[in-house]
């Protein structure tokens, strides 16, 4: 595989979360790699356009070999921060901006290439020809290895994919947000050989106390002994079982939770258990 089955999401590594110092960040990178997580997911906007630079310093400090990891970044969202005083949050998927944004990410991450660049959000003003030109330019110059999208619908994947191959679509997917199983998104990715990456793969199971999450916790609790696993491991295993070969992006910065998450890769839920969990989420039997 080009990317590790679990991806380390860096959104909360910096100003938008734990505010890790350089040594803490390089230590977390090393822990991820030791546990087989070699892919690191960024976006230019993380930390208000500050986290890529912090990661770049930590990566240099870590002495980790560039060829031992895969670096992903996303571009296209024009976020309002002190660094970019826009009048309104908006999207820019013009050729010039995509190229400039990739070059900026390379500089901040202190690398010569990205393993994958994703368009962070679709724009109503995006044009597939212009995007294809940017991707071709970046590929020819060796600045990116692969191109993909994020949060794109099936029709939007077709719009862009008819002009330039899409390797990945990073979408929100979890037990509590599984719309992609029913609206054609995952079907499209299977048929077009597009790799799904899933952000927020644990959903809101641990963030909310609702009738739905209580049903889920009850069902997970009944399966923990059977699989000798924790609730979060079973949730990840539920997503990993989908035939689309979904790659979860885990956002934790806690080493113990990272190690715990990796153990989910060894779990293979039985068919009826997978559906028991789905039914617990939905609150009714499948049609």
pLDDT of residue 28: 98
Distance CA 20, CA 240 (A): 29
CA terminus-to-terminus distance, the chain:
35
Question: Which entry of 46, 49, 91, 227 is annotated as an active-site residue?
Answer: 46
Split at pLDDT 50, 70, 90, the class of 249 is: very high
Domains and their CATH numbers in the chain: 7-172 (3.20.20.100)
pLDDT of residue 83: 86
- pLDDT at residue 85 above 90? no
- pLDDT at residue 263 above 80? yes
Read off the pLDDT of each residue in 194-203 and give the average, rounded to a whole number: 98
Query: Residue 162 in 3-state DSSP?
Result: coil
Identify the DSSP state of 144. Answer: B
Question: pTM value?
Answer: 0.97
- pLDDT at residue 1 above 90? no
| φ, ψ at 78 (rounded to 5°) | -100, 100
Mean pLDDT, rounded, of the chain? 97
pLDDT of residue 265: 98
Distance CA 24, CA 231 (A): 27
Q: Does the annotation count 46 as an active-site position?
A: yes
State the sign of the Cα–Cα–Cα–Cα dihedral 229, 233, 237, 239.
Answer: positive
Query: Which candidate, 258, 214, 195, places its Cα nearest to that of 232?
Result: 258
Residue-wise pLDDT for 12-48, tens only, equals: 999 999 999 999 999 999 999 999 999 999 999 999 9
pLDDT of residue 277: 98
CB 198 within 8 A of CB 173: yes
- pLDDT at residue 243 above 80? yes
- pLDDT at residue 189 above 90? yes
Distance CA 117, CA 227 (A): 37
CB 190 within 8 A of CB 162: no
CB 160 within 8 A of CB 150: no
């Amino acid at each position: 595989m080009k990317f590790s089955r679990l991806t380390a999401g860096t959104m909360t590594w910096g100003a938008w979360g734990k505010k890790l110092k350089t040594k803490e960040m390089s230590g977390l990178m090393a822990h991820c790699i030791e546990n087989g997580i070699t892919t690191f997911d960024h976006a230019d906007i993380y930390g208000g356009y500050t986290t890529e630079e912090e990661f770049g310093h930590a990566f240099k400090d870590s002495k980790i070999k560039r060829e031992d990891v895969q670096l992903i970044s996303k571009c296209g969202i024009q976020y309002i921060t002190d660094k970019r005083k826009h009048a309104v949050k908006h999207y820019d998927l013009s050729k010039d901006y995509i190229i400039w944004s990739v070059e900026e990410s390379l500089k901040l991450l202190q690398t010569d290439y990205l393993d994958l660049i994703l368009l962070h959000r679709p724009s109503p003003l995006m044009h597939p020809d212009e995007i294809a030109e940017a991707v071709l330019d970046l590929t020819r110059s060796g600045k990116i290895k692969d191109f993909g999208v994020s949060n794109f619908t099936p029709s939007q994947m077709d719009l862009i994919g008819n002009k330039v191959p899409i390797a990945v679509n990073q979408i929100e997917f979890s037990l509590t947000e599984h719309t992609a199983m029913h609206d054609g998104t995952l079907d499209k990715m299977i048929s077009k050989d597009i790799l799904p990456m899933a952000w927020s793969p644990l959903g809101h199971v641990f963030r909310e106390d609702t009738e739905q999450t209580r049903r889920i916790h009850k069902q997970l609790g009944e399966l923990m002994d059977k699989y000798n696993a924790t609730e979060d491991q079973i949730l990840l295993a539920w997503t990993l079982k989908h035939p689309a070969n979904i790659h979860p992006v885990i956002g934790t910065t806690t080493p113990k939770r990272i190690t715990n998450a990796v153990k989910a890769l060894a779990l293979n839920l039985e068919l009826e258990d997978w559906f028991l969990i789905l039914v617990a989420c939905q609150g009714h039997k499948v049609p």
